[in-house]
Structure 1
Amino acid sequence: MDRRTYLGALGGASVFGAGSGVGSANATWWFSGPTVETESGTVEGYEDDGIEVFEGIPYAHQPVGERRFRPPETPAPSWDGTRDATEFGPRAPQPLLLTTLIDSVGEFVGEEDGCLNLNVWAPEDAEPGDKPVMYWIHGGGYNFGSNRFPGGALAEAGDVVVVAVNYRLNALGFFAHPEISAENPSTPTNFGYLDIRAGLEWVQRNVEGFGGDPDNVTIFGESAGGHAVLTLLTDPEAEGLFHRAISQSGPINEPLYSLSELETRGTEAAAELDCGDDTLACLRDTDPETLAEAYGVAGAIASGATSGQTPPVEQPALIIGVDGEVVRDHPATSIENGEFHDVPVLLGGNAEEYQFFLEFTDDTVPESEAAYRDRLQRIYGDFGDRLVDAYPVSDYDSIEAAYIDVNTDDFFLCSDVAVTDAITSQGGTAYRYVFDDTPTIPVTLLSEDPGAYHTAELSYVFGATVTQQKLPTGINGPGDWELRDRMQGYWSNFAATGDPNGGSLPEWPAANQNQRRVRLQEESVTVETGTGDGCPVFRDVYDRLRSIDR
């Protein structure tokens, strides 16, 4: 059926109660919105400045009861009548943490029942199968976050269909236990990652009705979402589900837990919960907050575990693990070994990523040059002196600036260099960037001049103005708007053709063995080459970490 079919007032009123939909302030009472037939039933969205918006569409059975700790069961159950898709669906249960920047809510938020949903933003003039598709994977360390992003501005500016997915997080998404492994040997953990892949499969089966081309899908994500993008790049089961990949600040070279480590952690959690003999039933009955507290929240984002406050660099920063089945090997190792899909890749990070983590973890800046040297030696062991030489305090305005640079390169920028080298040396195509600007309205809890902190680019990619409250930052003014237009142009050009160049945009050359990249700033786009002195050291660090028998 024509996806732009509008129902009459009586017809619209009669179906709002059908299925599991509810009324919405987004839809005018005398007219219903655009409708699309999906594999599970008809959804009705709303129109917003030339963009048709559909929110909270279920893409799988909800992961409750016996479905907890199992792969997503698809497709979603069918419904009768027309389902209201004019309000965001539930987000996955999660600790508050950075959610405080977006919502004023309690310490643990979200709902397990209903969390496997996605949103679609489509240009109203799109014919079935007409537009490139951009599939967004949110960040948050696989511990928190949601698909509540303002996708309409990108859909309009780029003439693309934007899809944003919710997936299971923290313990609900990445729990492991020997009894789970025995029950499902082929999917022992990483259920949240499987949700992301299931959402991509939904796109293949359904996006044509929204005007999207299933043969032209770009996956893009930030932070853990960027990590998921590069993990999908190495996943044999994701073959054919996407055709280009954009990783924004994806820490792909960080060490990952092994399945045995995660199973040990799950066993300890079950003991803490006094689960007794019927362990799986107990774990499936435990409320999400209690389960997450028992399992623990992994990562530098949540606890500073990889920061300067604790010595072992080997501590993984993400809760996802290498289980040998779903995530078969460390994704960076797979890329180095040529085990990745041959699709164009665009990747990069922000110039002062680690400023964000200084504000939101227990990490602190060393108080003196001697303390700076001691910190790097304590974190990096025999690599510490080499890093002190590569990042001498004398080259910076402050110890803080040097410390931010070291950690930014470690987690993000030098990781991008390693991935780019691996891809281009094997004949692949990659485009690399560093974002170097601060939104006019930065994250309110950051320092007065935070620079290009982690997440700063999101407002430009999504075009979030100061009046759009779905992101914790905003852009405002001619300089911000010009950079927004360039970035949305680059991202959507890449989604359409695999090349960010086009129109009047400044040239962005592909990466090569000289490590070409572009620096994206408000006033200019500059082509740079080289990697600095630190990245060769971090290449050795990454190799050492992945050689550890976990």
Structure 2
Amino acid sequence: MDRRTYLGALGGASVFGAGSGIGSANATWWFSDPEVEIESGTVEGDEEGDVNAFRGIPYAHQPVGERRFRPPETPAPSWDGTRGAHDYGPRAPQPILATGFLGLDVGKFVGSEDGCLNLNVWAPADADPGEKPVMYWIHGGAYNFGSNRFPGGALAEAGDVVVVAVNYRLNALGFFAHPEVTAASPSAPTNFGYLDIRAGLEWVQRNVAAFGGDPDNVTIFGESAGGHAVLTLLTDPEAKGLFHRAISQSGPINDPLYPLAELEDRGTEAARELDCASGDTLACLRDAKPAELAEAYGVAGALASEATDGGTPRVELPGLIFGVDGEVVRAHPATLIEDGEFHDVPVLLGGNAEEYQFFLEFADDTVPESEAAYRDRLQRVYGDFGDRVVDAYPVSDYDSIEAAYIDVNTDDFFLCSDVAVTDAITRQGGTAYRYLFDDTPTIPVTLLSDDPGAYHTAELAYVFGETVTQQGLPTGIIGPGDWVLRDRMQGYWTNFAASGDPNGDGLPEWREATRNQRRVRLQEDSVTVETGTSDGCAVMQDIYSYLRSTGR
């Protein structure tokens, strides 16, 4: 019999429950569940060792009906009595990336709009109100899929921090645009999912002290699209004061983005496909089923595969389903960072040595079959820059064509972006720490090759200390051989969250990045310092600059 059943049999938890005042997160008796009073009412969570866990807490009105294609409406409606926060809330509607252990077909939609704007909190059970550093997690998934169903308890316990993980709207529901949507919401014509992320941060400011978190010591951290969101928040004037440090893991900040006009054209075409072009177009679009809307908008495919099609010129790639709308996102975040228009907070950022191995499986890309085909592919993808890219990544420098192809794409989409961001921060006199993760979990994600290296998402289990599963598919399972690196990474991440400096007792020294681009390489049994950058990143920098000049 679990505690909740036992308490019910005794006639109700209120006889033994925790105090009702704000900040009363500690249970009075060993068999009572923790309760916390927040702005919308009282929530009851679970004791999980030395951590109290609260799942599925709504932070806004749910984005259904007329609230679809609008900024989140906050705060969440209040409730009477005590609301159970024992189970994860609904995922935002999304396509299945891979069959995995859910047994669902790729492309099948799961999740629900009603209830998707929720977050989870893991807090040390002994926390006093407003005491602990806060880490605010933003999940990845190309703004197309994913959820906040991460195991935050191990990180909260290891680092003595409060961990908050947010859900946000995805794919067309989170990033749709259409002239009528713009007319109805001119100050926020798209990027509703991004606004959800910001609304969750605002919820943290108003409520996290009740769980023992310090609202004046908040670190945002995220991976992939979540890392992109972290760096976007860094440039957002409306986010000033909502966080005090930032960690971007594999954040592709230099990916091309859509101008609003192009997104509106895409939305207009989607309305035609959905028979919404005549009559009350906006009402029709708000009634459309999420899967049909995403398919019509062109984002239903797994991982927006068109963005990594090896035959598409780099300058024509649509990039993330994310808009430069001139309002919420006033310019490309990479441009703002390059121009020094970002919040002056310490930043920790990095990526994985073989990021692109993941995308060979999940993004319908293929390795060129010969050296000639490799050269031809790069020349087609990079156009006028093709010869320079081929020269910077010659097959002769690698063990295989596949290794060369993975390296050029890993640099392009991830690692060279880190170089650009670090250079901009240090040039402005800011604080940055850069890393390269270079290890493979004991059991890597099951659908990759036998020797995938440090693939995209591989670091997640080390940061969270437990297996991270998305859509039923583990991103990697760590074993005893991984525990030294796990402990070091959790120490670095939580030390940085507490003070802005990742260093601490028992950890190899991690010095700040400088203009010569110092970074640490994180491996199973070593942490080594590296300086300098590759010739490839110099080429990629020129490509990024060209993309910005074309409005991408």
Instruction: Please report the TM-score for the alignment, with normalisation by the length of structure 1.
Output: 0.94
- Map 1:394-473 to 2 at 5 A: 394-465=396-467, 472-473=474-475
Separation in 2, partners of 1:102, 1:79: 36
Offset at residue 385 of structure 1 (A): 0.8
Q: State the Cα deviation string for residues 44-84 of structure 1 (Å, max 9, x = none).
A: 00011111000000000000000000000000000000000
Offset at residue 10 of structure 1 (A): 2.5
Separation in 1, partners of 2:198, 2:287: 26
- Which deviates more, 104-113 or 152-161? 104-113
Offset at residue 530 of structure 1 (A): 0.8
Separation in 1, partners of 2:386, 2:61: 49
- Map 1:104-115 to 2 at 5 A: 104-105=103-104, 107-115=108-116
Name the counterpart of 1:491. Answer: 493
- Aligned to 1:230, what secondary structure does the other structure show? helix
Given the alignment, which residue of 535, 538, 541 partners 1:539?
541
Separation in 2, partners of 1:325, 1:468: 32
- Which deviates more, 471-480 or 460-469? 460-469
- Map 1:42-441 to 2 at 5 A: 42-98=42-98, 100-101=99-100, 103-105=102-104, 107-275=108-276, 276-297=278-299, 301-441=303-443
Amino acid at match of 1:178: P
- Map 1:19-30 to 2 at 5 A: none
Amino acid at match of 2:312: T
- Aligned to 2:435, what secondary structure does the other structure show? strand
Separation in 2, partners of 1:316, 1:298: 14
Separation in 1, partners of 2:232, 2:301: 18
Amino acid at match of 1:268: E
Offset at residue 299 of structure 1 (A): 8.7
CA contact (8 A) 2:149 2:470 kept: no
- Which deviates more, 55-64 or 104-113? 104-113
Separation in 1, partners of 2:267, 2:221: 31
- Which deviates more, 467-476 or 528-537? 467-476
Q: State the Cα deviation string for residues 165-198 of structure 1 (Å, max 9, x = none).
A: 0000000000000001011110000000000000
Separation in 2, partners of 1:144, 1:209: 30
Separation in 1, partners of 2:473, 2:386: 37
CA contact (8 A) 1:300 1:306 kept: no
Name the counterpart of 1:24. Answer: none
Separation in 2, partners of 1:89, 1:466: 17
Separation in 1, partners of 2:319, 2:476: 28
Offset at residue 470 of structure 1 (A): 7.1
Name the counterpart of 1:23. Answer: none
Separation in 1, partners of 2:534, 2:546: 20
Separation in 1, partners of 2:165, 2:473: 14
CA contact (8 A) 1:299 1:319 kept: no
Q: Structure 1 residues 216, 143: CA separation in 2 closer, same or farther (over 3 Å shift)?
A: same
Amino acid at match of 2:316: E
Separation in 1, partners of 2:360, 2:447: 11
CA contact (8 A) 1:15 1:83 kept: no
Q: State the Cα deviation string for residues 308-359 of structure 1 (Å, max 9, x = none).
A: 1323433122001100000010001001111100000000000000000001
Q: Structure 1 residues 101, 424: CA separation in 2 closer, same or farther (over 3 Å shift)?
A: farther
Separation in 2, partners of 1:467, 1:114: 21
Offset at residue 532 of structure 1 (A): 1.1
Name the counterpart of 2:3. Answer: none
- Which deviates more, 268-277 or 475-484? 475-484
CA contact (8 A) 2:61 2:74 kept: yes
- Aligned to 2:315, what secondary structure does the other structure show? coil
Offset at residue 97 of structure 1 (A): 1.1
Q: State the Cα deviation string for residues 227-283 of structure 1 (Å, max 9, x = none).
A: 000000000000000000000000001110000000000000001111122100000
Q: Structure 1 residues 325, 468: CA separation in 2 closer, same or farther (over 3 Å shift)?
A: closer
Amino acid at match of 2:103: S
Q: State the Cα deviation string for residues 397-430 of structure 1 (Å, max 9, x = none).
A: 0000000000000000001000100010011100
Stretches of structure 1 that go unaligned for 5 or more consecutive residues are: 1-5, 17-26
Aligned residues between the structures: 533
Q: State the Cα deviation string for residues 70-112 of structure 1 (Å, max 9, x = none).
A: 00000000000000000000010001114x4463346110000
Name the counterpart of 1:479. Answer: 481
Amino acid at match of 2:365: D
- Aligned to 2:474, what secondary structure does the other structure show? coil
Amino acid at match of 2:449: S
- Aligned to 2:222, what secondary structure does the other structure show? strand
Instruction: Please report the TM-score for the alignment, with normalisation by the length of structure 2.
Output: 0.93
CA contact (8 A) 1:41 1:82 kept: yes
CA contact (8 A) 2:178 2:263 kept: yes
Q: Structure 1 residues 69, 505: CA separation in 2 closer, same or farther (over 3 Å shift)?
A: same
Amino acid at match of 1:521: Q
Offset at residue 304 of structure 1 (A): 3.8
Q: Structure 1 residues 460, 92: CA separation in 2 closer, same or farther (over 3 Å shift)?
A: same
Name the counterpart of 1:21. Answer: none
- Aligned to 1:488, what secondary structure does the other structure show? helix
Separation in 1, partners of 2:124, 2:537: 42
- Which deviates more, 280-289 or 308-317? 308-317
Separation in 2, partners of 1:303, 1:357: 9
Q: State the Cα deviation string for residues 435-480 of structure 1 (Å, max 9, x = none).
A: 0000111110000000000000000000115999976144443320
Q: Deviation above 2 Å: which 4+ runs of structure 1?
A: 6-16, 100-106, 298-302, 304-307, 309-314, 465-471, 473-479
Sequence identity percentage: 82
CA contact (8 A) 1:299 1:305 kept: no
Separation in 2, partners of 1:298, 1:469: 15
CA contact (8 A) 2:246 2:345 kept: yes
Q: Structure 1 residues 239, 191: CA separation in 2 closer, same or farther (over 3 Å shift)?
A: same
Q: Structure 1 residues 230, 466: CA separation in 2 closer, same or farther (over 3 Å shift)?
A: closer
Name the counterpart of 1:19. Answer: none
- Aligned to 2:444, what secondary structure does the other structure show? coil
- Aligned to 2:443, what secondary structure does the other structure show? coil
Separation in 2, partners of 1:505, 1:352: 25
Amino acid at match of 1:374: D
Amino acid at match of 1:544: Y
CA contact (8 A) 2:442 2:478 kept: yes
CA contact (8 A) 1:463 1:484 kept: yes
- Aligned to 1:292, what secondary structure does the other structure show? helix
Separation in 2, partners of 1:164, 1:102: 23
Separation in 1, partners of 2:478, 2:109: 32
Name the counterpart of 2:24. Answer: none
